[in-house]
Structure 1
Amino acid sequence: MTTPAAPAIAVDASTRFLRVARTRADGTPELVELPGTEPGEGLPTPPGVRGDRGAALRLAYTKYREQCGTPGHVVLVVPPQERAVLPGDGGMPRPRLLDTPHAVLALLRHKGIRIEPRLLVCDLGASAAEVTECAVAGGSVAVVRVARYAPADDGYGAAFDAAVLAGAGLPVDEPAVLRELGRVRSQNARRIEVALERMAARPDRSAATVVHEVAGREITADLLHRALARLTDGLDRALDGLPGVRATGQDPSCTPVIAVGGAARSEALLRHLTGRLGQPVPVPGGTDPALAAVFGAALVADGRIDAADRYPHAVAVRVHRTEVGRPRDGELLISPPGTLEPGGATVFAETDGERVRVRTGPADGTRGRDVRILVRAAGTDAAAPAGVVTIPPSGDGARFHLGVRLAADGTARLVLQPLGRSPSGDRPLAQLPPEEFPLGVLPTDPRPDSPSDPHDS
């Protein structure tokens, strides 16, 4: 009898909810119902782990394993800037890391929705409003730039709830009250949207209208309208952090946008976004926007769709070669387009399947060298400089394998793997750790390269 393969899961830990998702046999992603799960939301995030993504991810994974056993594969939805705090749970398979934009766009691509060459992913979550400009190139999705608004006091989406509860004279951080607010808001979603629409048209007639109650306190249209301003103002601040997206959405050349996250459930907030950037791309298949990231990550975990987060362009270095006894300047390709993966293995320069051996300085090893890094777009002559790395003297004409890797946070490193034997002759240099030189974030939009100095390295 064949033992069925362990399922693949995705975990997304937000300020409000811990969400674990998997795919059904037909490929449809779904939330895993764990003890204490709120339908359509996930496990409420305990106050003790809010703001600590590593602890929240560990808790969500532990709850899943207690209920369902150890999964075969795990994808964690983690922003690049927080990947230094990954959970070290001994029972977790080595996780695959994915940020929200790539997870959301994986969901769109799986549903057959055409992705424009440029797209804005607007993540409107409890803690922050984050707008990411993405570019599609060579089958990969590259993050071009990110703008984020994250107020330190109440967060972003959570600030709406805090404003409603405070305005009604209720505690803003009481779990039972927050749960009741969530249930009441879900039950009265259409009534809330109608009230906000009428407030925008005729506030004098609608302000005093009681829309619903929470813990015995009346929530009026005016109170909801004032709370909504916390969301619209925060969204404007995030959008203003991306020059070029301020124009009205009536311009057909505007970059398309998709809105996800819990606050993206608000029709009033989406109307405000439409006024800035035009009608957002619909979340596919009626998917709850709060679940779009974890559902996309579940599809990646299950192998239904590629994450498309590999670097889409080629990385090369300027080199000096000696051919037939004559020095010549040229380029050495290190990594072809689509081979560098965040958190993945180092890609080394190869020729005919063999790693290239390079020397970083003169044969006597007395001087170092400035190495210029280039990025070239696939199938074009467009190029962009990616920085200059100063390689120190290596001594005795030592040779190296030359490579590049992307760290989990998306920043690049130039890698030199020593070859030959150490000066003392006691062990091969290949057993020594490689040297790494930071390159920062590689360019996402290669532009025509400027004429180079023939004496460049």
Structure 2
Amino acid sequence: MSAIAIDVGARHVRVARVGAHGAAELVDLPGTVAGEGLPVAAESGGAHRTIALRTAYGAYRDAYGVPGKVVLCVPQQDRAEHARRAADTLTALHATGGAPQFRALSTPHAVLALLRHTGALPDGWYAVCDLAATEVRVAVCAVSPTAVAVTGDARRAPADGYGAGFDAALLRAAGLPAEEAGLRELAAARAVEGAALRLDLTLARAGAHPDRYDDIAVHQVDGREISAGAVRRALARLTADLDQAAAEALDKASGASADGRPAALSAVAVGGSARLLPLVRHLTERQGPPVALPAGVDPALAAVFGAALVAAGRIDPADRYPYAVCVGAHRTVAGRPRDEELLLSPPGALEPGGATVYAEADGRRVRLRTGPEGSADGRPVRVRVRDAENRRTAQVRSLLIPGAAEGDRFHVGVRVAVDGTARLVLRPLGAGAPSEIPLGSLPTDLKEVRS
């Protein structure tokens, strides 16, 4: 079964898979820019993600056929909405059936999957910093043997873009318009072997002695020089936005952690702007020691390569819901009614876009009835989540379950859709389609149970 990953950026959409030698690689598609992916049409505007996704998937399908599985990289913030739109876009291309299995994976989970695949990522706290063209995103993650939890995240999206705004400022400093031709030539100048290191050294010297080094040319675009001073001034905006996003993410993580501020934080820099060594150095000087990507992996491709490893089944992203999901139930014992709590799903069993997990007892699905048919209000049922030690709990919501005929029995379960929202599932034992009741997003902020 073929499996691919797709990551839609502001400038390029990247399609990756695991190659014959077991390493993730970009898929060669018509129009692909080497090392970057398929260019995104500038005129697509606000709908660029949908159009770019449809175009790239169509190009893959035309060249290689329908894949068996597609993992979609989506931002951590608003991931449910991004995932829903992406799944709807690809599903619409298979109106007659035969659609692949879709799954959404957040950028920090994809990046950490790439690092965990090497076996060299110890448990601890990490700041995954996605330095993209339009925005900077920081996710503070706790990595444990069984789960990767995002405990705080934040983003900064300047009006004229993050990395894109930086590039535009450099072209303007050289007296050039911020147009596609200039951006391509600037990218080519940066890609010259040794250019990144020379830029980093020159900027370090200019920071200490601006009067001596600010006027030194570090790039040449269309016959115009870009000076170290111009780069330093444009870089200041990038570092300011990065610092603010990191501070906001750490504040959220500190509030979510019982121990306060995460200790021994390490920094992972990905995205196209992570090719800028001075920006990465600024990040690691303030947030913690850097985590190196696997040898040869471009930071702009880290997320899609990690997602490709997940799609191929080479690594579990550890993004399953970490808590147990329970539902209130009623039993009659010795002729007397008794309220109980039925375990629907144990910790770590629910996967976004995965199969429904049904309540079981002794290895067999539990059979339940929903209550007397014809009840106007239905039977109120409470859904809760609990940690593995039953020390913390949170209520999801209370539901009114419609009644059914006296002899009707159901299997009851829960599933998490590709957009990250949960559904309570009632599957009749006889004929009939299962019914689903929306639960919304499952809580991650659990409270201590008072004894």
Same-fold call, TM > 0.5?
Answer: yes
Tell me, in whole angstroms, the C-alpha distance in 2 between the residues paired with 1:15 and 1:342: 25
- Displacement after TM superposition at 1:448 (Å): 2.7
Match of 2:245 in 1: 238
User: Aligned to 2:28, what secondary structure does the other structure show?
Assistant: coil
Change in CA separation of 1:137 and 1:346 when aligned onto 2, cut-off 3 Å: farther
Tell me, in whole angstroms, the C-alpha distance in 2 between the residues paired with 1:314 and 1:119: 25
Tell me, in whole angstroms, the C-alpha distance in 1 between the residues paired with 2:173 and 2:253: 32
Match of 2:257 in 1: none
- Alignment of 1:278 with 2:278, yes or no, is no
> Is the Cα–Cα contact under 8 Å of residues 121 and 258 in structure 1 kept in the other structure?
yes
Tell me, in whole angstroms, the C-alpha distance in 2 between the residues paired with 1:433 and 1:363: 17
Tell me, in whole angstroms, the C-alpha distance in 2 between the residues paired with 1:25 and 1:432: 41
Paired letter, 1:381 = N
- Displacement after TM superposition at 1:243 (Å): 4.0
Tell me, in whole angstroms, the C-alpha distance in 2 between the residues paired with 1:361 and 1:19: 51
> Is the Cα–Cα contact under 8 Å of residues 141 and 312 in structure 1 kept in the other structure?
no
Match of 1:213 in 2: 220
The worse-fitting range, judged by mean Cα deviation, of 47-56 and 251-260 is: 251-260
Which of 105, 109, 114 is the matching residue for 1:102? 109
Which of 4, 13, 16 is the matching residue for 2:11? 16
> Is the Cα–Cα contact under 8 Å of residues 50 and 56 in structure 1 kept in the other structure?
no
For 1:324-403, what aligned pairs fall within 5 Å after superposition? 324-359=334-369, 365=375, 367-378=377-388, 380-391=389-400, 394=403, 400-403=410-413
For 1:249-328, what aligned pairs fall within 5 Å after superposition? 253-328=263-338
Match of 1:42 in 2: 37
- Displacement after TM superposition at 1:9 (Å): 2.4
Change in CA separation of 1:318 and 1:157 when aligned onto 2, cut-off 3 Å: same
User: Aligned to 1:307, what secondary structure does the other structure show?
Assistant: coil
User: Aligned to 2:264, what secondary structure does the other structure show?
Assistant: coil
Change in CA separation of 1:40 and 1:435 when aligned onto 2, cut-off 3 Å: closer
Match of 2:60 in 1: 64
Tell me, in whole angstroms, the C-alpha distance in 2 between the residues paired with 1:237 and 1:362: 56
- Displacement after TM superposition at 1:360 (Å): 5.0
- Displacement after TM superposition at 1:292 (Å): 0.7
- Displacement after TM superposition at 1:164 (Å): 1.0
- Displacement after TM superposition at 1:273 (Å): 1.2
- Displacement after TM superposition at 1:69 (Å): 4.4
Tell me, in whole angstroms, the C-alpha distance in 1 between the residues paired with 2:67 and 2:418: 22
For 1:28-177, what aligned pairs fall within 5 Å after superposition? 28-49=23-44, 51=46, 52-79=48-75, 80=79, 81-86=81-86, 87=90, 88-90=92-94, 93-136=100-143, 139-151=146-158, 153-172=159-178, 174-177=179-182
Match of 2:258 in 1: none
User: Aligned to 1:345, what secondary structure does the other structure show?
Assistant: coil
Tell me the alpha carbon deviations over residues 32-64 of structure 1, each in whole angstroms, 9 at most, x when there is no partner. 333433322222222133542222112122233
Tell me, in whole angstroms, the C-alpha distance in 2 between the residues paired with 1:186 and 1:72: 35
User: Aligned to 1:161, what secondary structure does the other structure show?
Assistant: helix
Paired letter, 2:12 = F
Change in CA separation of 1:361 and 1:200 when aligned onto 2, cut-off 3 Å: farther
Tell me the alpha carbon deviations over residues 49-100 of structure 1, each in whole angstroms, 9 at most, x when there is no partner. 3542222112122233444444443322233231222233338633332221
- Displacement after TM superposition at 1:178 (Å): 1.1
Change in CA separation of 1:67 and 1:320 when aligned onto 2, cut-off 3 Å: closer
Match of 2:197 in 1: 190
> Is the Cα–Cα contact under 8 Å of residues 365 and 396 in structure 1 kept in the other structure?
no
What is the TM-score normalised by the length of structure 2?
0.85
Tell me, in whole angstroms, the C-alpha distance in 2 between the residues paired with 1:360 and 1:69: 45
- Displacement after TM superposition at 1:179 (Å): 0.8
Match of 1:455 in 2: none
Tell me, in whole angstroms, the C-alpha distance in 1 between the residues paired with 2:133 and 2:69: 27
- Displacement after TM superposition at 1:347 (Å): 1.9
Tell me, in whole angstroms, the C-alpha distance in 1 between the residues paired with 2:352 and 2:373: 35
Tell me, in whole angstroms, the C-alpha distance in 1 between the residues paired with 2:167 and 2:128: 23
RMSD between superposed Cα atoms in Å: 2.9
Change in CA separation of 1:316 and 1:197 when aligned onto 2, cut-off 3 Å: same
Change in CA separation of 1:255 and 1:375 when aligned onto 2, cut-off 3 Å: farther
- Displacement after TM superposition at 1:244 (Å): 3.6
Report percent identity of matched pairs: 52
What is the TM-score normalised by the length of structure 1?
0.84
Change in CA separation of 1:395 and 1:8 when aligned onto 2, cut-off 3 Å: closer
Tell me, in whole angstroms, the C-alpha distance in 1 between the residues paired with 2:383 and 2:244: 35
Paired letter, 1:62 = G
- Displacement after TM superposition at 1:385 (Å): 0.7
Match of 1:424 in 2: none
Tell me the alpha carbon deviations over residues 167-191 of structure 1, each in whole angstroms, 9 at most, x when there is no partner. 222222x222111110012222222
> Is the Cα–Cα contact under 8 Å of residues 412 and 442 in structure 1 kept in the other structure?
no
Tell me the alpha carbon deviations over residues 205-236 of structure 1, each in whole angstroms, 9 at most, x when there is no partner. 22222212111221011111111122112212
User: Aligned to 1:387, what secondary structure does the other structure show?
Assistant: strand
Gaps of 5+ in 2: 255-260
Change in CA separation of 1:257 and 1:155 when aligned onto 2, cut-off 3 Å: same
Paired letter, 2:44 = V
Change in CA separation of 1:14 and 1:375 when aligned onto 2, cut-off 3 Å: same
Change in CA separation of 1:245 and 1:207 when aligned onto 2, cut-off 3 Å: farther
Paired letter, 1:124 = L
- Displacement after TM superposition at 1:117 (Å): 4.2
